[in-house]
């Protein structure tokens, strides 16, 4: 049975501090959605609200046709995987996995059978008798995963489950989590501050800031077409240039920086360009050339990237990062131009 999770205008406070502001989020049945953001953005608060460890000030939380908003945490039937594993130190691996089954009143024979089947699925059959203290980090997280999965919850939630593991194991584990989640078709909410982790594992990602979702979309869309400056900066658009349209000539638009430098952009590529906007580009999206067109800059530090040289570029309107060809290394202090590479740039609504 797969169900959807819906948060409607959820607001939450810690004391008098508002930590979530009218947050709405819908996760379709069987979908894995990540909440991504820096610490303090409200992602863990959101998870704890759904888990029932916090109560929202207003708004509602629904799982399928059940209203979770004020339901006690132990009745919610949600599988939780914690950052620090949170295994029961006084119980063996098997008893850890069987804990939820025991709460559901299953007999000991059935509990053991189900727990052992689940341990087999996560590759830990040989460790059933061990105590948690005798396991490695990766093994502990597998037990935690098995413990959450064995109760066959309609919703799985992960709170930074991989951040205590080393890099190699992290990649293995996230593939594992994705595999098990897909196999069961369990609706899942995944909280992380790691962009790569969120993008690689999720159907959709919500990028959060200051208690709000800034953008919720497929990873590909977030990466290539951020909707606003915050998300753009988050996914690596390091250059955000305020622009004003000064001339329109059919599809061609002449846009000018606050310092008066101009570039030409085509509405055939970008669609309708508003009169004021932010031009967002990764270093890849700003070509450093010696031509006269584009934004005039003075080059600063040059770094070698393997596929290109990257330059720190000082313009009157600010400092940018641009890439130049390997064929022509330029020295610091050289006067050059920055030309937007249309396919690598985005037009964002102006912040002002």
Helices then strands, each counted (H, E), the chain: 9, 20
Q: Which two tokens stand for residue 157?
A: 């939630």
Burial (Cβ within 10 Å: 0-12, 13-18, ≥19) of residue 65: exposed
| Alpha-carbon gap, residue 85 to 48, rounded angstroms | 16
Minimal distance, residue 66 CB to other proteins, in Å? 14
In this complex, which beta carbon is closest to other proteins, that of residue 78 or of residue 214?
Answer: 78
Minimal distance, residue 77 CB to other proteins, in Å? 7
In this complex, which beta carbon is closest to other proteins, that of residue 51 or of residue 169?
Answer: 51
Minimal distance, residue 81 CB to other proteins, in Å? 9
In this complex, which beta carbon is closest to other proteins, that of residue 97 or of residue 346?
Answer: 97
DSSP letter string over 10-22? EEEEETTEEEEEE
Minimal distance, residue 54 CB to other proteins, in Å? 11
Minimal distance, residue 86 CB to other proteins, in Å? 4
In this complex, which beta carbon is closest to other proteins, that of residue 152 or of residue 194?
Answer: 152
In this complex, which beta carbon is closest to other proteins, that of residue 61 or of residue 235?
Answer: 61
Of 61, 83, 71, 52, the residue nearest 3 (C-alpha): 61
10 φ, ψ (degrees, to nearest 5): -80, 125
In this complex, which beta carbon is closest to other proteins, that of residue 27 or of residue 287?
Answer: 27
For helices 137-149 and 167-184, give the axis angle rounded to 10 degrees: 10
Buried/exposed 159-191: b ≥16 CB within 10 Å, e otherwise:
bbbbebbeeebbeebbebbbebbeebebbbbbb
| Alpha-carbon gap, residue 97 to 267, rounded angstroms | 58
Q: Which two tokens stand for residue 303?
A: 């770094």
Contact (Cβ atoms closer than 8 angstroms) between residue 317 and residue 261 = yes
Minimal distance, residue 174 CB to other proteins, in Å? 20
In this complex, which beta carbon is closest to other proteins, that of residue 3 or of residue 336?
Answer: 3
| Alpha-carbon gap, residue 306 to 96, rounded angstroms | 49
Minimal distance, residue 76 CB to other proteins, in Å? 7
In this complex, which beta carbon is closest to other proteins, that of residue 55 or of residue 268?
Answer: 55
Of 225, 282, 291, 283, the residue nearest 264 (C-alpha): 291
Of 215, 151, 142, 139, the residue nearest 186 (C-alpha): 151
In this complex, which beta carbon is closest to other proteins, that of residue 151 or of residue 315?
Answer: 151
Minimal distance, residue 78 CB to other proteins, in Å? 6
SS3 299: strand
Minimal distance, residue 7 CB to other proteins, in Å? 18
Give the footprint of other proteins on this chain (CB under 8 A).
Answer: 15, 51-53, 72-80, 82-84, 86-90, 99-100, 103-104, 144, 147-148, 151
């Amino acid at each position: 049975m797969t169900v959807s999770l819906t948060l409607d205008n959820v607001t939450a406070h810690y004391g008098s501090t508002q930590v979530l502001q009218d947050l709405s989020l819908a996760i379709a049945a069987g979908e894995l959605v990540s909440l991504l953001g820096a610490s303090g953005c409200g992602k863990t608060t959101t998870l704890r609200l759904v888990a029932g460890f916090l109560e929202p000030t207003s708004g509602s939380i629904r799982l399928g046709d059940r209203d979770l908003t004020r339901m006690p945490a132990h009745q919610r039937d949600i599988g939780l995987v914690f950052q620090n594993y949170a295994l029961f130190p006084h119980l063996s691996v098997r008893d850890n996995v069987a804990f939820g089954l025991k709460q559901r009143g299953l007999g000991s024979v059935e509990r053991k059978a189900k727990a052992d089947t689940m341990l087999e699925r996560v590759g830990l059959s040989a460790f059933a008798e061990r105590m948690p203290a005798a396991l490695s980090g990766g093994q502990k997280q597998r037990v935690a995963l098995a413990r959450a999965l064995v109760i066959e919850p309609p919703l799985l939630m992960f709170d930074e489950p991989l951040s205590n593991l080393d890099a190699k194991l992290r990649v293995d584990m996230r593939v594992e989590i994705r595999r098990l989640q897909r196999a069961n078709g369990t609706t899942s909410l995944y909280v992380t501050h790691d962009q790569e982790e969120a993008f690689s594992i999720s159907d959709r990602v919500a990028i959060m800031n200051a208690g709000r979702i800034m953008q919720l979309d497929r990873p590909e869309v977030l990466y290539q077409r951020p909707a606003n400056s915050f998300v753009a900066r988050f996914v690596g658009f390091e250059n955000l240039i305020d622009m004003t349209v000064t001339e329109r000539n059919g599809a061609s638009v002449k846009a000018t920086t606050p310092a008066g430098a101009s570039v030409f952009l085509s509405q055939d590529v970008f669609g309708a360009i508003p009169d004021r906007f932010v031009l967002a580009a990764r270093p890849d999206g700003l070509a450093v050339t010696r031509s006269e067109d584009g934004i005039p800059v003075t080059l600063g530090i040059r770094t070698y990237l393997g596929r290109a040289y990257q330059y720190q570029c000082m313009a009157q309107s600010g400092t940018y990062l641009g890439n130049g060809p390997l064929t022509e290394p330029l020295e610091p202090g050289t006067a050059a131009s920055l030309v937007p590479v249309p396919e690598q740039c985005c037009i964002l609504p102006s912040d002002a």
